[in-house]
Structure formats: C-alpha cells, structure tokens
A and B are shown apart, each in its own frame.
Chain A
C-alpha cells in the first residue's frame, strides 16, 4: 500500500506566487487604492482647488477668501457655530460619561434596554430631533408653555444636536470605561482610598483621553451638521448651513469650498491631537489585568439609575413625539390618528421613491462596502509584501475620519463637475451615492475590521501558505467564518449610516436618486413637517429593524459556532 501514499511533487513548481493569489492580493490592493484615490483624495483636493480658484461668479479665490474672513457676517456665523458646538459638547460629554459609567461600572438593572434606547438617535437622520422639538416646544408645541421663548434659535439647535450626538459620545466612553483593571481598585481600597479618590487616581486618568476624543467628536459633528439648524435654527445661522446654501441655493461653489475648508479645520485639529495623545498614552491595559466587577451599592446604583432613566425618558419623549406627530391628521387642530402623512401625496420630496432609493442605497453600501472594506483590511493586515502600498492604503483609510460629510460632499460636487472629468457621467447616479457613502464611513468600518483581524493568530496565513493553500481560499474558509460577527457589525453600521446620512448625499442626488433623508429635509423646507416626521419615522424603523435583525443573526452565528469559539485558544 506504500508507494501511492507518498506525495509526489507535481513537476515544476512555479517560481512566483500563484496567479489566483496575485490577483487577489495585488488586484485587491490596487482596487482599494483606486477607490480611495477617486472617492477620498481627489474630492478633497478639488475643494482646495475650487476654494482658491478665482473663477468669476463662484465666490472663490484669494481675494474672495480675504473678503469672506474679514466680513462681519462671517464672524457672526463663526461665533454662532462655536457657541453652539461648545455648548453641545459641554452638555453631552458629561451626560454621556455618567450614562456610560452607569452601564459599565454599576449594577443598575436593565442595562441592555438602556443601551438600546441610547442608540436611537443613530437610527434616524439628524433632522428628526429637530422636528420632534418643533412639535414639543414650537409655536404650537404641546409643551410650549414650559419655555419662555419658542424653540427656534440657539437652544433649539443645542438641544437637537445634543440628542443627535449623544450616542456618538456614548460609544467612545463606553469602550473606554469597559477597560478596567480590578487589581488597581483592590490596591486603592487596601490603602484606604475613598471611592472618589479611586475615581480621580484610576478611572479618570484611564478615560480622560476618551473624554477629549468624545468632546472633539461632538464638537465636529455639531459644527458640520446642518440637519438640525435647518429645522429649528430660525434666524440663528451657522456655518454649515451657510455652506449648504452657498452651493445648493446660490451655486457659489467657491464660497462653499472656502467655508468647507474652514469646517475641515476642527476635524483636522482634533484628529491630529487625538493621534498625538494616543502615541503619548501607550497601552492602557496589561495582558495580566483582571476584569473589574463592580460591587453592589444601593445608594450609588439608585443615583445612576435615576440619571439613566431621565436621559432615556428624554430620548423616548423626543422619538415618541416624532412618531406620534407623523400619525396625527392635522396638527394641532385635528389630533385623530391616520396614515395620511405616509402617502407623501402632496410633496415634491420624492415620497416612496425616496424611501425605496434609500433602502437600495443602504443595502448596496452595506454589502459592497463591508466586502471591500473587510477584504481591504485583511490584505493590509495579513500580507507583508508591497509595504509601501500597504502604508499608503493605511494612511488613506484614516483620512475619511477627519473629513466631515458636508466637506466630502462638497468635494464630490467639485471633483465630479470638473470640466473634462470622464467620471462626470456618474454624477447624480446611485453608484456615486454608494461610493460616497462607503468612503464617508470607511474609517470606522475599517477600524472594526482591523481590530477583529488583529485578534487572529498572526501565523494563520503562514500556516496556510506552508500547506500550499491559496490565500483567497484561506480568507474564505478560515478568516471570514471567524470574523463573521465583526463583519455583521460592519454591515449594520454601514446600513444604518447610509439610511440616515444627509450631509454628503444632499449635494449628489438627482430627482431619480433622491434619498429618504434628503426628502425629510426638503419636506420640512416646504413646510410639510408632518410628511418629514413620517419619513423620519420610516427611516428610524427601517434602521432599527435591520439592526435588530442583524443582532439576531449575529447571536445565531455565535450560538452555532459555540463549539469552537468556546474553547478556542487565546492568541
């Protein structure tokens, strides 16, 4: 039986990497490079080109720039934007910190419910809190009596943005507070430190960088958002709105580009400082850290439960109001319920077409985006050839994080409308909307993928190669199944982001490709607040529904693979 068992080597070995793998690795990387170049780098460069080119009637160029930054109107806008953004950050970050602390470091009941509720603002476009505020505190609002003046203006924007940005800050703080080394707390209490002292000397130093990051994120999101100001801003104008109006309303591309560049500054600044802090900070947790388990304390848990309940109640009030108002026949005169607003009959907003477009766009973004981003992250992490290409890809993958959607959208307008750009044919198409949305949300998805991939044994690929298995087969058979939960997480993130985004898409749609979130903006603009509420509600339920579905699928995946995930050796 012996002879045929021995494995004869097949004739001549190819000197190089097998063709399939060369296409997979090099082709994949070059495709990603092309995507990042066309979808991120070129539009960004186009903004600078547009801002500084003094073409007539566009409001760009050096002279216009000088005029712009020295005008009183600009100072007023900048002042307003700064006021709003700083106020929102100052309100949201402490609240999110308390909320995150309650979820991670106390024993309050119902944590999963509170966590789910806190994510509601992610599921709807930023206009929804604004619309709800109008129904609550506007001229005909149900709680109009509680406030001295109507809601339009500074406080309207601050409240709306606070709700919109809350989950973003919360997610950063939740992950920072999830890491705690029980040994440090044991040491502190054995030395007689009070809980307050332990907080000051252990918890705070471990999380202050995250607090800074959350502050920057909230600030940047607020200063670049125009969804809330457009709904409840009234006469209180801000920069983001001005950029939107300059491009969409007045076709002043140069002026829009200049304001876009100004809006890029806070994001670039916080991105730089955050990267610098990270380098200073180093590794927060050693491998031998023991997981912190909070002790029960009735007084503490009671306090935190009260805080969490208050915040969740406020969120429920706002989102409940939006849903309720979408069902009311004719506010405030006929409060009987109907589905009239969901017919979107009297609007130019696109109605159900917009909704269908949005779902299509979100599905394409989620499926194509997660495949491209995850595969790209895999190739960057797990292949060690083409070192320069890898470095370029890594750096480009972090750019979108520092570019607000509004600025990216402006860049697309400028780049794809460049005279002679053959890619102009894509302008206004679904393809471009999908590409733009993938590019906009690429960094977060890429980081999720990278984190998951780095948890895998670094020798997996080497082992596969030694067994003469092609890399693409290994990726499909081993890497993807192991990382499926992370992949589903990316799909969910991209879907929800694509459903709710307006910032970039507002510049890129055509009548055929109008999106639901854009329709919300247009209906609100046209005075059809009921329709806007109805469309927001549709987006909210679609996003939440898909999120729950994917969470359920992810649980199923985990349960089915429990046999091997349970005892899998820690790497």
Chain B
C-alpha cells in the first residue's frame, strides 16, 4: 500500500487513557483499578490468560460494559459515560460479526449512513482498495475465506474513520498458517494509517509481533506495561516471567551481597540484582550456555536428561549435579549438538541473565 495515500484515510491518531477503572461481576473482580495510557498512533496489546480481564477492559472502552468506577478518555474527551454510538471507535471482533445478509460493499457502507451517496460510495471503494478486496464487493461474507472476512470486517470498522481501533482476538479464528502473514499485514496497515489501536489477545507471539507496547494482565490488574523486548527480557513480576516465553526457576537464599545459595551451589548475581534475602532466581533457557568455550562465571557440572529436537534449535533438559531432582531447560542451536557430546556437561548461568524475584 501507498503511505502517502493511506495517511489521509483516517483522522490523525489521538491518545487514549484509562484511569483507575474497576469492574465487578458479582463477587468476581474483573478489573481492579486499571490504568493505561496509549499514545496517539500506538498499537498496544492487552495480553493475558482467559479471565484476566483483558476482554472486559476492551468492552468497557467500547461502551459495551459499563465500568463500576474510573474514567476513560479518548483524546481530550471523557467518554466514560457515553453510549457506544457516541464514542467514536471501530472494532474488529473475534467472530468478525459481519452481517451475513449484506454484501461486502453494504457491510463496509453500514457505518456511513450519515453521508451522501457519492461520498459513501467513494469511501467504500477506498476501503476495498486499502484491504485489497476490490473484486469481492458484490459477494456475501459467507462466500469469502476467513482471512478475507477479517479484512472486510477491518474495512467496515475503519470506514467511518474512527479515532480508535479495537481488535478483539482478531487472529484466533484463523489458520495458524495465515496468521503470521495477516499479523504483519494488519500491523503495516495500522502503522501507515497512524490509528491508535488496542488489541486483546491471549497469544504472546501475536502480541510480540505486532505491539508497540504490551500490557500483561492477570486477575484484573496490569502486571507490566512495557515494550515487547522489556516484557521478555525484564519481566516485572513472576507472573509475567512465567506467562511470556519459557524460563527456569531456582529457589535461593541470599548468602552475601553478591551471591545466592541454591542447594549446594553458590551463584554469583549481577550488581543490580536487588536485595531480597530469599526467593527465586529466573533465567531464560537461551541465556544458559552449554560447554562454553571460554571460561565463564557460574559454571557448574550437569547431566543431560533429555534432548528435544525443535528444528533450528534443541531443547535440552538437564540437572545440576549439586541440585539433583530439579530439572532445568537450556536451548542450543542444532549445529552445536555435535560439540556437546556426552551426557556430562558444564553449564554457565551468566549473572546478567539471572533475575531475582523475592
């Protein structure tokens, strides 16, 4: 698509703010004092397990649920108490919710009722071009593939040029094969339109692939709100560490400022590792080096239990000799396998990769 053209297709992005929003369903706290700021033109993912409140938050922003407490701002308007029709957003549902009895064209024109006929017609053509479905305007949604339906739903949501785009699990009805391609496509489109976007997903790959920032949610709270890289490399809470990616956990007692005691091992920590007297150490599998060529700190003898082939890399399960019965995981490139040789290995746990959770 052509970015000089698409930039004019929507209004300039506006920021969106959620301030201290709470929502209960009976005794269940779906949202617990949630605050969130989305910058103009930013794409933010709400990521979390089912029941974490991400969908409730989206529905509150859309006005489909009414929050018990707190405020929602779109640009400088307080939209907290507005009806959905008055909020000015477009939404793409998991099911797409395309109206089956209307053609693609009529679906896209659905939100353009206030315009004159020519204006609406022009806008529909423009939207069809934008999503690359110019030949399908007379078809019915049921005659399209899942991916095409998604694009129609997106065109319909964008047609009235809303200032906010909401995406509710947009990829989950699609085949895994086309998902990644469509994620990229959606992201490019969003970026070129510059429309502020909030997307709900339980799939971390989608979130990583698309988001400027990710808000990881659990039990109705935002656990961490940061860039995908920070979420992965510096998880703020054990929940985030566990939910995003793979990881190893080692229970420890602090025995000095610089060292932690794990079983029979004394493990050196980084200088900025915090002061917790006990707790758990966290380490990503790929941060562990197996049989390092150069000498490294925290080098321990270990025994391989199992190797799983994953294509370009292998997952290796092993136990530290000084910590029997506690399986850990490392990831190594497949090409390194021959070099690793026997069952008895050495592993290094670099201090900089060890994160301390109290």
Contacts and interface: CB of A to CB of B under 8 A. Distances in A.
Interface in A1-44: 1-3, 5-10, 13-18, 21
A469 B82 contact: no
9 A-B pairs with least C-beta separation: A467-B111, A567-B142, A2-B8, A7-B161, A564-B140, A459-B97, A465-B84, A568-B142, A13-B86
A567 B98 CA distance: 13
Interface string B151-173: 00000110111110010000000
| Most chain A CB within a 10 A radius of its CB, from B110, B114, B143 | B110
A18 B86 CA distance: 9
Contacts, number: 128
Contacts of A481: 101
A569 interface: yes
B149 interface: yes
B81 A462 contact: no
B86 A566 contact: no
- Name which of A6, A467, A565, A571 has the most chain B CB atoms within 10 A of its CB: A467
Interface of B: 7-11, 62-64, 77, 81-91, 93-102, 110-111, 113-114, 122-123, 126, 140-143, 149, 156-157, 159-163, 166
Contact of B101 (A9, A564, A569): A564
A563 B140 CA distance: 7
A571 to B, nearest CB: 6
Contacts of B156: 463, 467
Given A16-B83, A462-B64, A468-B85, A568 B97 contact: no
Secondary structure class of chain B's binding surface, majority of residues: loop
B100 A5 contact: no
Contacts of B142: 564-569
6 contacts: A5-B9, A18-B83, A459-B97, A463-B93, A465-B63, A568-B141
Contacts of B84: 462, 465-466
A5 to B, nearest CB: 5
**Interface of A (DSSP majority class):** loop
Contacts of A565: 100, 142
Given A459-B95, A567-B143, A568-B141, A7 B160 contact: yes
A462 B93 contact: yes
A9 B75 CA distance: 13
Contacts of B126: 5
Contact of B140 (A6, A9, A13, A567): A567
A473 interface: yes
Contacts of B143: 563-564, 567
B10 A6 contact: yes
Contact of B100 (A8, A17, A463, A482): A482
Nearest to B122: A5
A470 B85 CA distance: 8
Contacts of B159: 467
Given A5-B8, A5-B9, A465-B83, 11 more contacts: A5-B126, A5-B161, A6-B10, A6-B161, A10-B114, A462-B91, A466-B90, A467-B110, A467-B159, A468-B85, A469-B110
A570 to B, nearest CB: 10
